[in-house]
Structure 1
Amino acid sequence: MVPWRISTTGVSIALRVTPRGGRDDFDGIEQLSDGRSVLKVRVRAVADGGEANRAVLALLAKSLGVPKASVTLLSGATSRLKQIAVEGDPARLAEALRQLASAKSTGMRN
């Protein structure tokens, strides 16, 4: 099960973010204890004043090859679990996400 859903205008992605993670990178797909899948993301930025959120949006835009304006935080502004919308060609975005997620995938975590 992948942590993104394709729509007519792009994709919606479920993320689990680790602020102050030492680097800006993706850590594969993780299945949460409730069965949902999330794309794990770590950023160097701290979770203060929206810095980590801005870093996540910038990392996604750069990694998916879309303008920053195409990446929007839908929910989870103050949570580690976030929902992000990315506008663009759905097929291309889904393929790019598959490549990012295939780098590393992990098992279930509580």
Structure 2
Amino acid sequence: MSWLQMDEAGVTLTLYIQPGAKKTEVVGLHGEALKIRLHAPPVEGQANAQLIAFLALHLAVPKRAVTLLSGEASRAKRVRVMGVEAGRVRARLIPA
């Protein structure tokens, strides 16, 4: 299984989230998931909201195109992003 799965409408991302970090950034791969550090704490959905905003900004899609599929209260999350291709996701999220 890859951290990035594509279909005709968009992509599904498998992510590992580290909330409460010094800054929000993509770290790289963590097993079969893409690891993202978030500055927001894991309190009352703050980290999930920051994750959606971060992905929308970096993938140049509206926030409504980013949906949390699973992992609302977990570090392991699956996120659906509509209207974006896998190549663009890799280019914008994988650290150089």
Coarse TM-score class (shorter-chain normalised): over 0.9
Post-superposition shift, 1:24?
1.1
Structure 1 residue matching 2:77: 3-state secondary structure: strand
Structure 1's consecutive aligned runs of 4 or more residues displaced over 6 angstroms after TM superposition are none
Give the corresponding residue for 1:98. Answer: 90
Aligned length: 95
Backbone CA RMSD of aligned residues: 1.3
Q: TM-score, normalised by structure 1?
A: 0.81
Question: Tell me, which stretches of 5 or more residues in structure 1 are unaligned?
Answer: 32-36, 105-110
Structure 2 residue matching 1:86: 3-state secondary structure: strand
CA distance in 1, matches of 2:29, 2:90: 10
Equivalent residue in structure 2 for 1:75, among 70, 74, 85: 70
State which structure, 1 or 2, has the greater radius of gyration over its C-alpha atoms: 1
1:4-24: CA deviation from partner (whole Å, max 9, x where unpaired): 100111000000000011111
Q: TM-score, normalised by structure 2?
A: 0.92
Post-superposition shift, 1:80?
0.2
Structure 2 residue matching 1:79: 3-state secondary structure: coil
Q: How does 1:61-72 map to 2 (within 5 A)?
A: 61-72=56-67
